[in-house]
């Protein structure tokens, strides 16, 4: 039974032999039980076996009845509790503030937990929330009951009583000895120090997030949370740490609690059951470097979902929490409307030229489908990105992502998988690259009624939708980080001897416009910026552009490689091209797209893809034919692309 309504709550208390009126007036104490409002929830205060206890009931409970439990300092710096209450969490409190996790207090907590779960129907996986010495209780209770804990949120926590209490807080140290029935002479029997009780939590895979000030004089971070983090990582545990520069013990929490809330949300069983990711290979190389060398370079390449502010930025923040002492360089290489074929050719210039990449996120399947790239092109594009990155640096860790788009959702709703995702997954399997199927997750959440496609934000999600994406990717990282311990080492990834497709764009790169032999009508405009109303993409305006506009305008280009193409912008006057390689008969290419009427859309057109790896000559000209929807016969080329 759920604490979804006030009557249910009191009926259950009646079962516990507590007398009350079934409909007490808000705020009026009835036989030791009172009801009041706490932010957006109904607050119930009562005694639990002699101790103050509180349960705050949300207006609408989230699926699974998740809850967060504070063992100390209720309502102090409650930003996280308030945010979770709005998300449908119950907020619980049992006052064991000054018991210092004594065996008696832990047993009382066991009984309280049992009441919450068995009698009130709350989730069997609780979030433990420990502020200051509440962190001591939270860690010890969780270590005694690791299978009952979803995660730990520790804020400026006391995690080593010997370096902190004994040295800095003499009165508290005496209280601890009293509660544990110990003396200075018998303290060696004490087994309640958090930093010495982490193994059960690590084995159970309990994740931890902590918020600490770096200037805490009451519970110094160096002697407490930093020691705990180091030990937990060595045991293979997941721990994230948010450090507040210049902050003392107070204030606790964060002005914006979202990073903590997002962490807690993604650990919930009801949230995880919709996630779909496949673990292949490892991320050891990047994670070990981030932790031990405290520096790293992370790159993101893809389309508009990667270019826009959203999951990418959240992942950058999340990585900084995961590795709080690491100096990161983030390479942001998202370009709207582009998929894996453009990605394969711009990888060298936009990503690899920045230096060795430790961790690479690739997005492309959504635009591969939306833009109508063939299955063959989909494989050649994403294999080009992955293999090229690994050949340049075999220690690069890679994660492949499949974001939701209008074209994917109806296919997945029919319990089928879009070809673009299947083709990308073929490549991921071949190279042992982990992947996250966000499209499948969103489809299932839509069918579950959690939100509508409009509420989510369509293919370019609202912040909530972006947080759903980030949670799934973060949980993949959580699982893969658990494979790492103190003995783990970095090693090159195995690169398969053969490619899935021998003509994949594994050595894709740009050729400068100046390499072209310009004939009649073509010109290089150094600062291309057409003065019209049509939309232009970032990176494709105020840049050099090779352009022509009249039928018969022609050029030639000498190149060496197995494939040749053009990276162009196809706007409202996009024309039809005629091209020939090595004096073959001319072929026609209509560059006008479904989006050209309103946008100069970046597009890679491959002209020839299965050439001998020798010297070739391309001849290109503007056709006199014209697409009836186009306003002209223009062509604007940003780069020539070649696969060696």
Read off the pLDDT of residues 28-62 as tens digits, 9 standing for 90 and up.
334 468 999 999 999 999 999 999 999 999 999 99
User: What is residue 2's predicted lDDT score, i.e. its pLDDT?
Assistant: 41
User: What is residue 168's predicted lDDT score, i.e. its pLDDT?
Assistant: 80
Count of all residues that appear for the chain in the document: 644
Cis omega (within 30 of 0) on the bond before 251?
Answer: yes
Concatenate the DSSP letters of all residues of 291-340 into one string.
III-EEEEEEEESHHHHSSSHHHHHHHHHHHHSTT-EEEEEEEE-TT--H
Concatenate the DSSP letters of all residues of 361-414 into one string.
EEE-HHHHHHTT--HHHHHHHHHHHHHHHHHH-TT-EEEEEE---TTHHHHHHT
Chain CA centroid to CA 563, Å = 35
Tell me if residue 533 falls in helix, strand or coil.
coil
Concatenate the DSSP letters of all residues of 403-452 into one string.
---TTHHHHHHTT---HHHHHHHHHHHHHT-EEEEHHHHHHHHHHTTS--
Tell me if residue 477 falls in helix, strand or coil.
helix
Q: Can you give the residue ranges of every domain in the chain?
A: 6-271, 274-481, 508-643
Distance CA 268, CA 123 (A): 9
Residue 161: CB partners within 8 Å, gap ≥ 6?
A: 100, 136, 173, 176, 190, 192, 193, 194
β strands within 491-575, DSSP E: 508-511, 517-518, 523-528, 535-536, 543-548, 554-561, 563-570
Task: Record the tokens describing residue 28, joined without a space.
Answer: 């009026």
Q: Name the burial class of residue 51, with classes exposed (0-12), middle (13-18) and buried (19+) by CB atoms within 10 angstroms of its CB.
A: middle
What DSSP character marks residue 148? G
Distance CA 171, CA 166 (A): 9
What residues in the chain have per-residue pLDDT under 50? 1-31
| Predicted structure pTM score | 0.91
Model confidence over 451-473: pLDDT tens digits?
A: 999 999 999 999 999 999 999 99
User: What is residue 321's predicted lDDT score, i.e. its pLDDT?
Assistant: 97
* CATH 3.40.50.1820 correct for 6-271: yes
Farthest-apart Cα atoms in the chain, separation: 98
CATH label, 274-481, candidates 3.90.1560.10, 3.40.50.150, 3.40.50.1110, 1.10.10.10: 3.40.50.1110
Residue 381: CB partners within 8 Å, gap ≥ 6?
A: 339, 340, 341, 342, 343, 344, 364, 368, 373, 504, 505
Residues 35/60, Cβ–Cβ less than 8 Å: no
Distance CA 53, CA 229 (A): 31
What DSSP character marks residue 507? T
DSSP β-bridge partners for residue 435:
278, 400
Residue in the block written with tokens 């309990």: 206
Concatenate the DSSP letters of all residues of 80-130 into one string.
HHHHHHHTT-EEEEE--TTSTT-HHHHHHHHHHHHIIIIIT---SSEEEEE
Are both 274-481 and 508-643 of the same fold?
Answer: no
Task: Record the tokens describing residue 427, joined without a space.
Answer: 């490549």
* CATH 3.40.50.300 correct for 508-643: no
């Amino acid at each position: 039974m759920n604490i979804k309504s006030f009557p249910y709550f009191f009926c259950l208390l009646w079962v516990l032999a507590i007398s009350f009126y079934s409909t007490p007036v808000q705020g009026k104490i009835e036989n030791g039980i009172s009801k009041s409002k706490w932010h957006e929830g109904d607050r119930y205060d009562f005694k639990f076996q002699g101790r103050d206890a509180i349960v705050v009931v949300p207006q609408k409970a989230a699926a699974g009845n998740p809850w967060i439990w504070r063992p100390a300092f209720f309502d102090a710096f409650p930003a996280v509790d308030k945010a979770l209450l709005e998300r449908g969490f119950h907020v619980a409190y049992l006052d064991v503030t000054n018991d210092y996790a004594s065996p008696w207090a832990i047993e009382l907590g066991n009984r309280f937990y049992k009441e919450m779960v068995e009698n009130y129907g709350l989730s069997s996986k609780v979030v433990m929330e420990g502020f200051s010495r509440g962190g001591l209780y939270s860690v010890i209770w969780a270590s005694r009951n690791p299978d009952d804990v979803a995660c730990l949120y520790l804020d400026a926590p006391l995690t080593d009583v010997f370096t902190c209490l004994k040295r800095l807080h003499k009165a508290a140290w005496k209280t601890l000895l009293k509660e544990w029935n110990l003396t200075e002479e018998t303290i060696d029997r004490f087994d309640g120090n958090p930093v010495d009780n982490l193994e059960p939590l690590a084995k159970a895979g309990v994740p931890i997030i902590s918020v600490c000030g770096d200037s805490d004089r009451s519970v110094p971070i160096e002697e407490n949370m930093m020691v705990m983090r180091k030990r937990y990582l060595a045991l293979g545990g997941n721990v994230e740490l948010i450090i507040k520069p210049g902050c003392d013990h107070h204030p606790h929490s964060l002005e914006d609690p979202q990073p903590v809330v997002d962490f807690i949300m993604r650990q919930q069983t009801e949230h995880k059951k919709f996630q779909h990711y496949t673990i292949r290979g490892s991320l050891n190389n990047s994670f070990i470097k981030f932790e031990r060398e405290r520096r790293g370079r992370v790159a993101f390449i893809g389309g508009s979902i990667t270019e826009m502010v959203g999951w990418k930025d959240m992942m950058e923040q999340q990585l900084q929490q995961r590795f709080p002492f690491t100096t990161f360089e983030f390479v942001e290489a998202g370009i709207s409307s582009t998929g894996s074929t453009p990605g394969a050719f711009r990888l060298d210039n936009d990503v690899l030229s920045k230096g060795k990449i430790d961790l690479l996120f690739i997005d492309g399947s959504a635009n591969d489908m939306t833009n109508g790239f063939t299955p063959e092109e989909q494989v050649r594009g994403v294999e080009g990105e992955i293999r090229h990155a690994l050949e340049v640096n075999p220690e690069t860790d890679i994660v492949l992502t499949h974001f939701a788009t209008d074209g994917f959702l109806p296919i997945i709703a029919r319990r089928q998988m879009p070809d673009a995702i299947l083709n990308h997954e073929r490549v991921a399997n071949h190279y042992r690259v982990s992947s996250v199927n966000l499209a499948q997750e969103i489809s299932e959440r839509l069918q579950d009624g959690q939100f509508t496609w409009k509420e989510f934000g369509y293919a370019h999600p609202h912040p909530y939708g972006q947080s759903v994406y980030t949670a799934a990717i973060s949980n993949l990282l959580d699982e893969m980080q658990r494979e790492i311990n103190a003995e783990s080492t970095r090693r090159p990834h195995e690169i398969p001897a053969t490619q899935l497709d021998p003509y994949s764009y594994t050595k894709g790169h740009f050729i400068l416009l100046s390499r072209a032999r310009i004939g009649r009508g073509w010109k290089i405009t150094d600062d291309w910026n057409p003065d019209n109303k049509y939309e232009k993409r970032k990176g494709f305006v105020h840049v050099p552009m090779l352009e022509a506009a009249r039928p018969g305008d022609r050029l030639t280009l000498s190149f060496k490689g197995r494939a040749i193409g053009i990276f162009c912008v196809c706007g409202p006057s996009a024309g039809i091209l005629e091209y020939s390689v090595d004096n073959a008969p001319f072929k026609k290419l209509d560059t006008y797209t479904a989006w050209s009427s309103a946008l100069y859309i970046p597009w890679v057109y491959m002209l020839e893809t299965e050439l001998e790896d020798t010297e070739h000559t391309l001849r290109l000209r503007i056709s006199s034919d014209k697409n009836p929807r186009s306003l002209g016969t223009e062509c604007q080329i940003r780069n020539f692309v070649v696969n060696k």
